[in-house]
């Protein structure tokens, strides 16, 4: 199955990160914005964030899932360790 531009139906590379040919992409978004879109979509593809799956085929994602404890989540979100009186050893939340 070949891939086609959603605007003009021109055949495009099967590995293209967008479903738009260059001519239509530049025409719709402009040169600089289309280049930024291509760059960001390429980075998302490399990180494993681009593929959303299909009805017939859904490969396992390349990106491993990370499970965080509540303390790790707070530390990652805030950039600092939570105080020791925030969570108990079994990760229950204490109300001050």
pLDDT at 92 over 90: no
Q: What is the pTM of this model?
A: 0.52
In this predicted structure, what is the pLDDT of residue 89?
57
Mean pLDDT of 37-57: 78
Q: Residue 31: which residues within 8 A CB-CB, separation 6 or more?
A: none
CB 68 within 8 A of CB 76: yes
Higher pLDDT, 42 or 55: 42
Mean pLDDT of 62-91: 66
In this predicted structure, what is the pLDDT of residue 47?
85
- Please name which of 22, 18, 12 lies closest in space to residue 4, comparing C-alpha atoms: 12
Report the residue count for the chain.
96
pLDDT at 30 over 90: yes
CB 75 within 8 A of CB 84: no
Domain ranges of the chain: 3-47, 66-96
Extended strands (E) in the chain: 3-4, 11-12
CA 20, distance to chain mean position in Å, is 19
Mean pLDDT of 42-57: 74
Structure tokens at 31: 């040169």
């Amino acid at each position: 199955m070949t891939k086609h531009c959603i605007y003009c139906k021109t055949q495009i590379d099967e590995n293209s990160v967008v479903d738009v040919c260059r001519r239509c992409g530049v025409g719709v978004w402009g040169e600089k914005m289309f280049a930024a879109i291509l760059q960001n979509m390429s980075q998302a593809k490399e990180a494993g964030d681009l593929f959303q799956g299909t009805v017939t085929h859904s490969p396992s994602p390349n990106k491993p899932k990370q499970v965080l404890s509540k303390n790790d989540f707070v530390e990652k979100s805030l950039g600092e360790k939570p105080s020791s009186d925030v969570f108990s050893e079994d990760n229950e939340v204490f109300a001050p």
